[in-house]
Structure 1
Amino acid sequence: YVHDESETLSDIDDEEVDLYIHDEEGKHIKKILWETTYREYLEEQAAKEAAAAASKKAFEAKFENCSEDILAARELAASSTEAVAKSKK
């Protein structure tokens, strides 16, 4: 491993660092600017989340009055999915 001096940021002086660090007001202004600039993206993401929630609710409603075998199969599938997700971490 070769140590690269540029990765340590030692060549950046304190005045330059201060330009990148924001106080609470600066953070708030930056947040407003970002949200204004990317409003369409945020709206699309919110719509996707709402659609996914509605789809999940509709899917779950299909199984409200199903047999115990179907419920057991759903639980097995859910636990299998969870186990696979944990094993990938």
Structure 2
Amino acid sequence: MAKTAMIRARTDEKLKDQVETIFHRLGMTTTEAINLFYRQVKVHRGLPFLVRLPNAETRKTLERSARGEDVKTFKNIEDMFKDLES
């Protein structure tokens, strides 16, 4: 299939740089990633991932977490699992 169609979009420069770094680590170009996304949309007949609005409880939890409230931190994964077991 000949690639003749052009896509133009604007995005945040920092986001673009971060995402392109990930693509590079995956061994793909931005064009390849976009084509992969398009193919997945075609296969799924929609977005290839869930897109939904958070409910009120989730929004409140995300807001608290963003403020650093009710957030637990651990030195290592073992400590995290010990906390989960208690």
TM-score (norm 2): 0.26
